[in-house]
Structure 1
Amino acid sequence: MSDGDAMGERFREFQRQLAERGDPAGPAAGQPASRTERGVREPGSRDWAPQTQRARPGDRGRRNREAINVPPAEFSSYYGRPILKPPVWKHDIAAYLFTGGLAAGSSLIAAGADLTGRPTLRRAARITSLGAVVASTYFLINDLGKPARFHHMLRVAKPTSPMSIGTWILSAFGPAAGVAAVAELGPLLPERGVLGLARRVSSPAGRIAGLAAAATAPALATYTGVLLADTAVPSWHDAYPDLPFLFAGSALVGASGAALIAAPPTETGPVHRLAVAGAAMELVAERRIEHGMGLSSEPYQQGLGGRLTRLSRALLLGGVAGALVGRRSRLLSMLSGAALVGSSLATRFGVFHAGVDSAKDPKYTVVPQRERLERKGSAPGA
């Protein structure tokens, strides 16, 4: 008897013993165990499959439960680097935001003073507007690196680009503010000859130019807010409904402060009311930004951006209080005006640094995106 026959005989004897004991796993007495009964499945049969690939009832539900129980991934970035590239803008742009608003607000004050017969206030506001717009042009060109780049931006007018439209607004506002300011030199010219003619036309030309500058002033004061909100920087982009109003209020506050410094109290009555209106607009927009954007509001409350925002608020409240109390005091009006100008400056730099800080930390990019996806997935009909 061969070795194979001997092994088969011993296996059948083992099966008969199991049958005599009543074990259901064994075959009927005297019947050899089949390959299926021995746990061997023929390739090609319906139930043949590798043991690790067989599907059992409930496997799908178990896999689903396992997928649900996987902990969410933590927000992180590749080798700790920011997800967004932080803005390459330097403090020239923050200063540009301030001077642009100061120029716009001052042109509005100058137009109102011209129409209501306040020559000293008109002169001070026109000169402030011209000086601020010249400074704005310098800061913008200095950030661009080459003066020719400013000229190249004027070759195209792209309505969907806040930068392109803003360049055209600045180009239209600047000459008008310049003509209005130069017209203030008219009374100093001789009364005869060509210079006398220039003296006679200086007043109407200055009024027309001043009104033209005032017409473009609201766009100049607010387009920078649209420009920042049009970026991917979280704390700027999420504040898109309120940044233009914040910048508009800040422009009125800064221009009112400059007027209180340069003009006598006898002509600054409307300026006090304008300062209160601008402060109210700024405070409402600032509160919405600090408390209405979720996680993206943090940079306006923490770090350098938060400190500058709190400084701006303190100067604003102190400046408005001083302007209301010291309406007839020249010294108190100048101090409150300086506080209002400082508040406007701190507001622009605070917004600038808050955006830069939010771009450097990946959580301000990842967490709001996940929250939006979760809200979208839980919405009815999703």
Structure 2
Amino acid sequence: MARQHRSSITKLWFFRVMLAIFVLSSVALLVFANWHTVKYMLRPIWDTPPRSFAFIPHYYAHNMSMRELCALHGWKLRKRPRRVFDAIIFNNELDLLEIRWREIDPYVTKFLLLESNGTFTGISKPLWFGVNRKPGGRFDFAEPKLVYSAIRTPRLPRGVRPYVNEAYQRDRMNELFRTAGIRAGDLLLMSDVDEIPSGHTVDLLRSCDGIPPVTHLQLRNFLYSFEFPTHKDRSDTGSWRSTAHVFEPRVTQYSHSRVTDTMLADAGWHCSFCFRTVADIAFKMRAYSHADRVTRPDFLREERIQDLICSGRDLFDMLPEEFNYRDLIGKMGSIPSSYSAVNLPLHLLRNVERFRYLLPGNCVRPRV
């Protein structure tokens, strides 16, 4: 009887152990399959927010003189505006490039554009800007100011992260500075194509003495088009990676990361995944440095992408990157649509028929 009792206890413990192993294995597999979601859900516990920026209030109104605007910022009007160099690495954002260059063209001395035959993730691609660089074409207005370089980006070895190629391309941009003839004291803008500084911001920074030697530019965030603003309130820093530098030889280096605590408020627009076609969006998902967020093949399904564009939901099913649960919960779900097209890039509004997909109420995209 005692032996039978011990056998029953042994079987019971064996069952419990196997059940525990099954449950733990299932949980581990679930966490592994949804690692990004789990990590972002627990971010308020394991991570701390970055230090706050020191904001420079940004003053602007139509018909104010530059002397008045400089004075409002505590700066002085220069006798002659600085030369301005705009430096970008180009992938395939043809429409945004045109809108960007048209916005800042009146104030820019040189446009620096670096293009590669491969993406950060090592995917081969055409030199899209080179293909569209034609006499009388859409970018012909920029030719007198253009400093263009086409480079070859090596394929990534297995296991090497895309940031290696990204760093390589950004380092090559430093070489382009010398080719462009930039000098000490010139104003150098560093940002991605979809990070568009407003024209009056560039004019302000080139025209005033006393500006910070380096400042980040706070840009209003949008997703898919200017219908979905993600910059909701004062607690939201918005897009901050764009920078303006008073060039200093042997010191100023091309970067896309935090380089100072200073930031000029409300300095332009960041339109993320703002492409004309579903195919372009799918390509960007596979091409940029965060391509590891494509955790399932169906993420690239055309019908899914189109549905997300019109509903304002995240392409990667990711939670907001927040550091407290109030903001995380508050920003979950779809982005509310905006019906405002006020204070957007001038070239966009002057060419509505060409760029209508970037404006509210026009979310449907062609496949290619």
TM-score (norm 2): 0.25
RCO comparison, higher one (Cα < 8 Å, 6+): 2
Pick the structure with more strand per residue: 2
Larger radius of gyration: 1
Per the normalisation by structure 1, the TM-score is 0.24
Structure with the larger helix share: 1
